[in-house]
A and B are shown apart, each in its own frame.
Chain A
Amino acid sequence: MHMSAGQRTLRTIAGWLVVGLFFFPIYFWTSVAFRDAKDIFSWPPKFFEFPPTVRNFEQVFGISLGFGFGNQDVVTPGGGNFYMAPRLWDSIVIASMSTVLAVVVATLAAYSLSRMDFRGRHHFVNWVLSTRMMPPVAVAVPMFFIFKQFNLLDTYTGIILVHGLMNLPLAVLLLKSFFDDIPAEIDESALLDGASRWTIFRRIVLPMAKGGIAATAVLCFIFSWTEFLFVLTLTQTSIKTVPVVSSTFVTSIGTAWGNMAALGAAAIVPAFIVIMLVQRHLVRGLTMGSLKQ
C-alpha cells in the first residue's frame, strides 16, 4: 500500500513512540539499580537527573567495582543481607540442567511423533498439549508432598525435575514442528539402504535440526529462568532463584529497591541476549510450533 511522505514520517514517529512507551519501565528499573536510596525515594520522582552509583551491584554481588563514582562502601563478600551471587548461580544451574532434561526427552519423542505413524498419534499429541494447561498450583501441591517423602524439597534435583517437566509440552510440540520441516524422504531412502531408525536420527536428522533444537533450548531456559511458583513452593532456604529471591527484598522495614533492581537487571541481561539470538524462531516458539515465521 502506498503512503505519502507525510504519512511515512508520521507512522515512523508513532512506531518509535509506542515501542518507547513499552521500553520505559525497563529503562526506569535499570536506572533505579544505579541510584542511591535518596534518588529512589524522592517526590517528584527522578527520571534522568541523578548521580549514578554502582553500590547496589556491589552489595548484591559482593564485589568491589571501584569505578570511582558514587559513594563507595567497603563491601564484604558473603556478608550483608543482600549478597545474592549464589542465587544467580542457583538460577543458572537450574535453568541449564532442566533445559538439558527437557530437550533430550522431547527430542526423542518429537522425532517419533513426526516420523512414525501409529494409532492414536493425534490423541497423543493432544494429550501432550493438554498437559500444558495444568495450573502450576495444582501440580505444586502434590509435588510438595512427594518431594517431602523423597527428600527432594530444597534440592537442585527437585527443581530441575519440575522445571524440566514443565517445559516438556512446549519442547515436544516445538521440536515436532522442526522435524516436520525436514523432508521425510530423507529418512525413507536411508531406511531402504538398511540404516536403523537410531542411526538416521543421530546421523541425519539431529544435525539437520540443530537450529530448531537450539531455539527450543533457549525458550526452555528462559521459562525456567522466569518461573516463580514452583521455586517458591518447593524450596526453603538453601536454594532460591532470582525471581523468588527478589520478592524477599520487601521487608518490614522497607523495600531495598536499589538492590532488587540491580539483581533484576543483572538477571534480565542474559535472557535479553539469548532471546536476540533466536529471533528467527521466536514466534514459532511462543506458539509451541503452531505458527511458522
Chain B
Amino acid sequence: MSVAQVKRISISDSPIPWLLPLVSLLVVFTIYPLIYNIWLSFHEFVPRKRALQFVGVDNWVQLWNDARFWSSLGVTFAYFVIALAFELALGMAIALLLDAELPGFGALRAFLSLTLVIPPAIAGMMFLLMEDPQFGALTYILNSLGLLDKSIPILATSSTALAGVLLAEIWQWTPFMVLIFLAGLRSLPTEPYEAAMIDGASSFQMFRRLTLPMMSRVIAVAVLIRGIDLFRVFDYVFVMTSGGPGTATYSLSLYAWQQTFSFIKWGYGATLSLVSLVIIMVLANIFIKVFKVRW
C-alpha cells in the first residue's frame, strides 16, 4: 500500500499538535498499565494488613512452580491452535464456495457478517443453552446423530468442554475469515488462471500454485488479527464454563482475572497478565517480521 506523502512545504507543519491527544491517551492505556503491572508483580496484597507488601520475586517463583499456570498456558495454546486451524480451513473453503455469482450469493455474503456483531458473551450464552445436557438443541442433534452419548454433558466433561467452547468461537469467527478471504479472492487477477487452464491445470493445482501464494498477504493479516484475539480468550470461557470442569478450559486471561478479582491476589494476577502480554507481543512481532505484514 503506498503512503500518500506531501513534500514539507512549511516548517511550521508539525505533526505534534495532531498527535498529542492520541499519544497522551495511549500512554495512559499502555505505558502506565505496563509499568504498574511490573511494579505490582513484585508485591502482594496482605489481607491482614489490608495493604500491598513488597515480596521480591516470590510471585515469579510461584508462577514457575504453579501447575495451574502451566495448564492454563496449555489450554490457551490449544484453544489458539485449534480455533485458528478450523477458522482458516473452514473460512477458505466457504470463501471459495461463495466466490461465484449465483442466485442469492450476494445476500449470503452480507448475511455472514451477522455473527460478527453479536457480543461474544451472548454468543457464549447461545451455545451454553444449546449445549445444555437436559434440553439443549445441539445436545439433542448430536445424540440423534449418534455422535454423543446422552449421558455426557458437553461442558461439564473434561474431555469435551474445550470442544464445546471452541464450537461457539469457531461459529462466531469463521465468517470473519470468510469475508476477508472473499475480498482477497475477488481482487485476484484472472490472467494467471486463464494461462493455467490452457496448460490443463486441475483446480486443486491452481489453488495450490496460484490462489494460495497470491493470497498469502491476506491470510497473514487475517491470522495476525484473529490470532491476537484468540490468545486473550476470556468471554466465552467466563460465561460458558468459568474455566471448568477442573482446569479443562482455564485460559490464561481467565486465570489472571480470577487471581486478581476473585482471590484478591493482586500481585500474582498482575504477574500472570504480564506473562500473557509478553507472549502476545513477542509472537505477534515475530509474525509481523517473518510474514512482512505492514500497515
Q: Mark A residues whose CB is within 8 Å of B.
A: 1, 3, 8, 11-12, 14-16, 18-19, 22-23, 25-26, 28-29, 32, 40-45, 47, 105-106, 108-109, 111-118, 124-146, 162, 164-166, 168, 172-173, 176-177, 179-180, 182-184, 187-188, 191-192, 197, 222, 225-229, 232-233, 242-244, 246-247, 250, 255, 257, 260-261, 264, 267-268, 271-272, 274-276, 279, 282-283, 286-291, 293
Contact between A287 and B221, CB atoms less than 8 A apart: yes
In the complex, what residues of A have CB within 8 A of residue B123's CB? Answer: 25
Contact A137 B108 (CB under 8 A): no
The answer to whether the Cβ of B204 comes within 8 Å of any Cβ in the partner chain is: no
Q: Are A191 and B6 in contact (CB under 8 A)?
A: yes
Measured between C-beta atoms, what is the minimum distance from A49 to chain B in Å? 13
B58 contacts the other chain (CB 8 A): no
Q: Which of B21, B112, B137, B293 contacts A105 (CB 8 A)?
A: B21
Distance, CA A109 to CA B21, complexed state (A): 8
Given contacts A14-B97, A138-B33, A139-B29, contact A247 B180 (CB under 8 A): no
Across the two chains, which residue of chain B brings its CB closest to A41?
Answer: B135
* Stretch in contact with the other chain, from B59-67, B77-85, B151-159, B171-179: B171-179
Chain A residues whose C-beta falls within 8 Å of the C-beta of B179 in the assembled complex:
282-283, 286
User: Which listed residue (B19, B102, B108, B117) contacts A272, Cβ 8 A?
Assistant: B117
Determine if B238 and A105 form an interchain contact, defined as CB atoms under 8 angstroms apart: no
Contact B183 A136 (CB under 8 A): no
Besides A41-B134, A275-B113, 18 more A-B contacts (Cβ < 8 Å) are A18-B94, A25-B126, A28-B126, A43-B135, A116-B13, A132-B228, A133-B284, A134-B30, A139-B30, A141-B256, A142-B40, A168-B26, A225-B117, A226-B120, A268-B122, A279-B110, A287-B221, A291-B221
Are B112 and A286 closer than 8 Å at their CB atoms?
no
Q: B70 within 8 Å of A by Cβ?
A: no
Question: B34, B136, B234: which contacts A136 (Cβ < 8 A)?
Answer: B234
Q: Contacts A145-B36, A282-B113 known; A130 to B18 CB distance under 8 Å?
A: no
For A141, the chain B residues whose CB sits under 8 A away are: 33, 36-37, 40, 256, 260, 266, 269-270, 273
Residue B86 at the chain A interface, CB threshold 8 Å: no
Q: Specify which of A109, A118, A146, A267 lies most central, judged by the most chain B CB atoms within 10 Å of its CB.
A: A109
In the complex, are the beta carbons of B37 and A233 less than 8 A apart? Answer: no
A290: contacting residue among B18, B29, B295, CB under 8 A:
B295
Check if B127 is an interface residue, CB within 8 A of chain A: yes
Summed over the interface, the residue pairs from A and B with CB atoms below 8 Å come to a total of 302
Question: A184 to nearest B CB, angstroms?
Answer: 4
Minimum C-beta distance from B51 to chain A (A) = 13
- CB-CB under 8 A for A142 and B37, given A108-B22, A131-B26: yes
| Contacting pair B114 A26 (CB below 8 A) | yes
The answer to the question of B11 belonging to the interface, with a C-beta cut-off of 8 Å to chain A, is no
Q: Is the CB of B117 within 8 A of A268?
A: yes
Q: Of all chain A residues, which has the CB nearest B36?
A: A142
Q: How far is the CA of A140 from the CA of B67 in the complex (A)?
A: 25
Do the beta carbons of B135 and A165 come within 8 Å of each other?
no
Inter-chain contacts of B6 with A (CB < 8 A):
115-117, 184, 187-188, 191
Residues on A with beta carbons closer than 8 Å to the beta carbon of B212: none
Most A CB within 10 A of own CB, among B3, B179, B257:
B3
What are 28 contact pairs spanning A and B, CB under 8 A? A11-B100, A12-B105, A19-B112, A23-B114, A26-B115, A26-B118, A105-B21, A109-B22, A116-B13, A133-B228, A133-B280, A134-B30, A135-B253, A135-B277, A137-B232, A137-B234, A162-B29, A166-B29, A226-B117, A227-B119, A233-B261, A246-B121, A247-B239, A264-B122, A267-B122, A286-B180, A287-B180, A291-B184
